Amino acid sequence: MEDDKGGKLANGSDRADPVQEVIDLDDDVIIVSDDDAGGEFKDGATANVELAMKSPGSLVEKTGRNRTRRLSRSNSKNGVLGVAGTPNFVAPHRKWKNSRRSRNLHGRGLPKKGGAGGKGVWGKPGAEVFDELDDEDPNDPNFDIDAYNSSHNVELKEVVTAPPVLQLTEEEMIKKMESILLEYYENGDTHEAADGLEHILAPEMKPLVIKTIVGVAFDHKQSQREMTSVLISDLYGRVVTRDDICAGFDQLLYELPDIMLDTPDAPHLLGNFIARAIADDCVPPKYAYDSDREDLDTHARAALVRASALLSMPGGWSKLDNVWGVGGALRPVQTITRQMAMLLQEYVVSREIEEAQRSIKELEVPHFHHELIYEAIIMTLEAFNESIEEAICHLFRTLDSTCIVSPEQMELGFRRVYDDMTDIVLDIPLAYSILDRFIQRCRRAGSFLSETLIKDLPTRGRKRFVSEGDGGLVKHVNFLKNM
């Protein structure tokens, strides 16, 4: 026997030298050896496994017979063998699935995720403390939603859904829109008005919005008409479109003859609304210049001509922001006082009481009517003319009878004149006598002045003459008696 084939055993039998074969199965290195027949497996850095060979034979037969046997890796050195000393084998596709060793061959063999990962494990140590919080049932009567949200960082968000559209008839819808518009006149909140209109409007009824709100504004003051123009601008793009606004104005143009029965200046007002809508980019400019349409009557053409004239004014469309004027208390006091003075001068010249009443109403400052009374009385004192006194007295009586000026504002205006008489007399020396004559004229004209106000009429003090005193005699004083 050759040297490289082995040597004699102790009992005289031949012993074959250990034969090893390296088998590569799915990138796993397995060393099969015939040296260890007792079934003891050795652990190495690369997890080498030595398979005992039961009987000598050819190397091809040994490797062919054992090629299909694959061993699984284990975390323990002593857990390689199974029951009765037989090795534990697993299927090839499950060999690495349940392994806790690092798959890149660089780990220390520790369990993944600190023991919290894997199937059938108890979880990370200490996790049982938080089990009670995770097991809370929202249906439990003692469930605390605030504590649950604070522990789980729940973020609450507002979800806004479109309100359902009510199914209303045209008459019911007009009544709803009128109530929404009147409420808007009180609070001035366009967003609230838009929300209310969205709740009741159907897509095919949107042109009715423009027709209704403009028709209601015809019966109100300049400030409400300004608010209506602002509302149309805010509704554009949110509730109504450009075509809806044009369709609404078309309906108003067709119905102008009927509207003029209640509002004679409806073409003038509608032209202002159209021009303001064009300036706010809600209506195309060509709408106002198309006044030659055959389907329009004379009044509708007049409204479009009015709108085109406003758009053609020098200075641009910026002036159309004040097409309704600046009404109410938004104007400066000096501006209101100047308008009142011009109003009184026009009335004194024309003596048109109806025009004066209309102008006073358009001022929309009922809380500032005392300034009108004050300016009228000062104008009477400066004029020193009985004709003007008669005209102003007639104006006061008319304003009181029509309740345009309240009795409190009337009395406040007269008392302001009473308090300033010491300064007024410096410019008008006969102011006291003129005021006394005017008060007596107003007293005879009606009962719009109270008796207390008439009794409080101031009189100018004068120096006493010697003849009005003690007759020019000098009284003798007994100095000794006083001592």
What would the pLDDT profile of 69-90 be if each residue is shown by its tens digit? 444 444 444 444 444 455 555 5
* Minimum mean pLDDT range among 25-34, 319-328, 404-413, 460-469: 25-34
The residue-averaged pLDDT of 191-215 equals 88
The string of pLDDT tens digits covering residues 134-188 is 556 777 777 777 777 776 665 666 555 555 656 778 888 889 999 999 999 988 8
Sort 210 into a burial class: Cβ within 10 Å, 0-12 / 13-18 / 19+. buried
Average pLDDT, the chain: 75
Q: For 435-470, how does the pLDDT look when each residue is reduced to its tens digit (9 = 90+)?
A: 999 999 999 988 788 999 999 988 876 555 555 555
Cα→Cα distances 199→183, 321, 342, 475, Å: 16, 30, 47, 94
Write the CB contacts of 400 (distance below 8 Å, at least 6 apart in sequence).
407, 410, 446, 448
pLDDT in tens, 101-138: 556 666 565 666 666 666 666 666 666 655 555 556 77
CB 448 within 8 A of CB 397: yes
Percent of the chain with pLDDT over 70: 62
**Fold type of domain 170-322:** 1.25.40
Q: CB neighbours of 183 closer than 8 A, spacing ≥ 6?
A: 192, 193
Residue 154, pLDDT score: 57
Contact (CB, 8 A) for 409 and 373: yes
**Cα(124)–Cα(256) distance, rounded to whole angstroms?**
83
- The DSSP element (H or E) to which 32 belongs, if any, is strand 28-33
pLDDT tens digits for 277-288?
Answer: 999 999 999 998
What six digits make up the tokens of 257?
A: 């003859």
Q: Tell me which of 482 and 431 has the higher pLDDT.
A: 431
213 confidence band (pLDDT: 50, 70, 90):
very high
Closest CA to 254 of 283, 297, 294, 217: 297
Per the structure block, which two tokens stand in for 365? 């400052």
Phi and psi based region of residue 258 (left: phi greater than 0; alpha: psi -120 to 50; beta: remaining): alpha
Contact residues for 233 (Cβ-Cβ < 8 A; gap 6+): 277, 280, 282
Element (H, E) at 64: helix 59-66
pLDDT of 248: 93
Amino acid occupying residue 56: P
| Per-domain boundaries in the chain | 170-322, 333-456
pLDDT at res. 54 = 43
Q: What's the topology of domain 333-456? A: 1.25.40
- Least confidently predicted of 25-39, 138-152, 228-242, 410-424: 25-39
The count of C-alpha atoms lying within 13 angstroms of the C-alpha of 102, restricted to the half-sphere facing its C-beta, is 8
- Shared fold status for 170-322 and 333-456: yes
pLDDT in tens, 288-335: 888 788 888 899 999 999 999 988 888 767 778 878 876 555 678 888
